[in-house]
Structure 1
């Protein structure tokens, strides 16, 4: 475990573990996981459905939603909500509790360990007399590539 208080990537890109498919390993589930593994950002069920269609996979949108829900239940996918409340999904790269650093422009994300977040959540719960049973914390920002693109666009004006 890192000694720094700064969040650190928890899994290097390109070293993702084998997908956790859950109890029922269907071809539709495998196709959806394949799409998620190929995309390096959080995406909506509709985007996954469109990608499946582009690949020639005939998987209904309802099946995509149901499959994502069941994959979420076995923690095979990470889920977060965008600012409009829509659920976004990404293949889970680690087996332990983690948080996400998400680019608000392109959607790219990094899995980060959140030691300081864990400590903070425990302190807040204790301060108000609660027993901590869980928490969700996502960190949003603008990735380097998008920062550079913004600088380039600003320079062109």
Structure 2
């Protein structure tokens, strides 16, 4: 999350510790796995608070979100606050950021030609990474 903005939510010690833990994530994580990691690190925080905090991060631009094959939302910190697109391995979940300026230009063009503002978009690319492909 950029800065310490938590929307209308209180900035508690547990939330601050959760945010610090989240920022160390190198890959996408579910709310449940982040909650388990928090508990393992001694951060006593409710699962509902983890979900709420991740949703705030998403809305604030502090996290990218994808859905896994089961539809569960997975979160990854945005280190520079810029929206990213990823290709994600369907087998192991490995993700890599990809250049998608064409998509961003297209979204801006749609906004300009339709008169809409606040346009959001989701582009999800999945495949099988090289390591998983060699296992087949």
For the criterion TM > 0.5, the same-fold answer is yes
Counterpart check, 1:22 vs 2:5: yes
Where 1:56 maps in the other structure, the secondary structure is coil
Q: Secondary structure of the equivalent of 2:29?
A: coil
Deviation at 1:80, TM superposition (A): 1.7
Distance 1:21 1:107 in 2: 29
Rg larger in 1 or in 2? 1
Matching of residue 86 in structure 1 with residue 72 in structure 2: yes
Q: Which of the pair has the greater relative contact order for Cα pairs under 8 Å at 6+ separation?
A: 1
Q: Does the CA contact (< 8 Å) of 1:33 and 1:91 recur in 2?
A: no
SS at match of 2:14: helix
- Residue 121 of structure 1 deviates from its aligned partner by 5.2
* Aligned pairs for 1:1-150 within 5 A: 20-23=3-6, 24-119=10-105, 130=114, 133-148=119-134, 150=135
TM-score, with normalisation over the residues of structure 2?
0.76
5+ residue gaps, structure 1, are: 1-17
Question: 1:90 aligns to what SS in structure 2?
Answer: strand
Contact preservation (8 Å) 1:20, 1:74: no
Count of residue correspondences: 130
Q: What is the distance in 2 between the residues matched to 1:82 and 1:131?
A: 32
- Identify the range of structure 1 (108-117 vs 51-60) with the bigger mean alpha-carbon deviation: 108-117
Per the TM alignment, residue 67 of structure 1 is displaced from its structure 2 partner at its CA by 0.9
Quote the RMSD (CA, aligned, Å): 2.7
CA shift in 2, pair 1:71/1:144, >3 Å: same
> Unpaired runs of 5+ in structure 2?
none
